[in-house]
Amino acid sequence: MSRHAPRQHGRIESAIKLAIACGVMLLAVALAEDARVERVRTQEPRNGNVRIGVLGLFEPRELTVSAEDNNALILHSEQQTSVLERSSGVQVAEVRSIGSVLAVRVGTSTVHTSTLTITGRDGGPAGFVLSVPGKIARHYRGTLELKPVSGVVVAVVSMDLETAVASVVGAEGLAGAPIEALKAQAVAARSYLVAGKGRHSEFDFCDSTHCQFLRDPPGPGSVAEAALATRGLVLAYDSQPFAAMYTRSCRGRTRTPLELGLPSGVYPYYSVDCKYCRLHPSRWQSRISARNAATLRDSDESSRLQLNRRLGWGTAPSNTYIRRKQGEHVILEGTGQGHGIGLCQSGAMAMAKGGADFAQILSHYYPNTTIVFMRRLGANR
């Protein structure tokens, strides 16, 4: 045996130990990452769907439901099942709230029921149009549940999470926004839908600014592309998804919930610089009575929202303003649109035009967070 053999053997043994140690470290990292994803996965909406209360701002006592072209709708009441389909000659159902029941008219037949569920032929989602007669009509894809509550027809659409994300981005996104800004919006919207439940008892979310705007599902284009490209991605802080807040235009620096008298939740938020809004502030002015001005507390989001609900959403568009007395009135002069927390849509749009991708945009407006892929949703791609 060579006199160098013991030394070579020692080197080989050290190399083996090092390889084993590196393997253990890599395995530990992989297991930690897998555990992190598992915790996020358990937060997904059941069956990948979200239940959204729609058209509630109109407090409708009557709604009409119609089948879209080439679609059949199955109406399930307590007494019978009916079909809405263009080929059958019956395509519209009229639903009215009468006390504690619904009166459902299909063709010449009327039935009374405490709840009405509308699905596709297979019991799954279908495309339909829901209307408040004389006021508004919107297209949806999902299943629909109607029931009477205090004389109003409450409408709840159960739709696929990704359909909801695309619909929110189409409603909330800024016109002309680059694809990377829309992707950032999609991740924020999905994060809110995954982690933001609990504000309503009858459904998960509403379709107003109280939760997130929701409109017709978008057709082919950049909005649908942004939702698809980020499918299953959510924002997480300390390995937990959170309901990401966003605003139309900040004052040049974003705010935190604590600054506005709001609870922080899972993510504390951080105040960050927004170059675009600092250089191009969105200015506004309004005139209100001194009595109404007395109810508006500075840096208090709740009082701002209450004032806007009474007088209109253009009364106090943001929490950044100065007051100026004018006789028996008060002039409010401010900058920004919205609460100013989280992603600034105007700033994100400018960042995207400057070459930033969606991950860089999200990292800027949500510091110390990660973008996490929800595994089960990804399996459906």
Torsion angle defined by CA atoms of residues 309, 311, 313 and 318, in that order, rounded to the nearest 10 degrees: -90
Reported as a single tens digit per residue, the pLDDT across 256-266 is 999 999 988 89
Query: Residue 45 above 60 pLDDT?
Result: no
Please count the helices (runs of H) and the strands (runs of E) in the chain: 10, 20
- Split at pLDDT 50, 70, 90, the class of 236 is very high
Q: What percent of the chain has pLDDT over 70?
A: 86
Q: Quote the crossing angle between the two packed helices 358-365 and 345-353, to the nearest 10°.
A: 140
DSSP letter at 249 equals B
pLDDT tens-digit profile of 341-352?
Answer: 999 999 999 999
Average pLDDT (14-27) is 39
What is the pLDDT averaged over residues 225-240?
96
pLDDT digits (tens, 9 = 90+) for 172-205: 999 899 999 999 999 999 999 999 988 888 899 9
pLDDT at 15: 43
Give the Cα separation of 281 and 334 in Å (integer): 9
pLDDT value, residue 219: 87
pLDDT given at position 29: 33
pLDDT value at residue 89: 81
Residues in the chain: 381
Query: Residue 22, exposed/middle/buried by CB under 10 A (0-12, 13-18, 19+)?
Result: exposed
**CA 155 to each of CA 60, 64, 176, 273, 276: distance values in angstroms, whole numbers, following the listed order:** 9, 11, 32, 41, 40
75 Cβ neighbours under 8 A, 6+ residues apart: 65, 81, 82, 83, 84, 93, 104, 106, 116, 117, 118
pLDDT (0 to 100) of residue 375: 64
26 or 200, greater pLDDT: 200
**Three-state DSSP class for residue 114:** coil
Give me the pLDDT at residue 216, please: 86
With beta carbons less than 8 A apart as the criterion, state whether 214 and 283 touch: no
Q: Where residue 27 falls among pLDDT bands split at 50, 70, 90? A: very low
Q: What pLDDT, in 10s, does the model give residues 365-374?
A: 999 999 999 8
Residue 257 gets which letter from DSSP? G
Q: What is the CA radius of gyration of the chain?
A: 26
Does the structure show a pLDDT above 50 at 60? yes
Q: How far apart are the first and last CA of the chain?
A: 60
pLDDT tens digits, 123-154: 999 999 999 999 999 999 999 999 999 999 99
Is the pLDDT assigned to residue 12 strictly greater than 50? no
Which uninterrupted H or E stretch holds 117?
A: strand 116-119
Look at residue 46 in the predicted model and tell me its pLDDT.
52
Instruction: Tell me what the pLDDT averaged over the chain comes to.
Output: 87
Per-residue model confidence (pLDDT) at position 265: 86
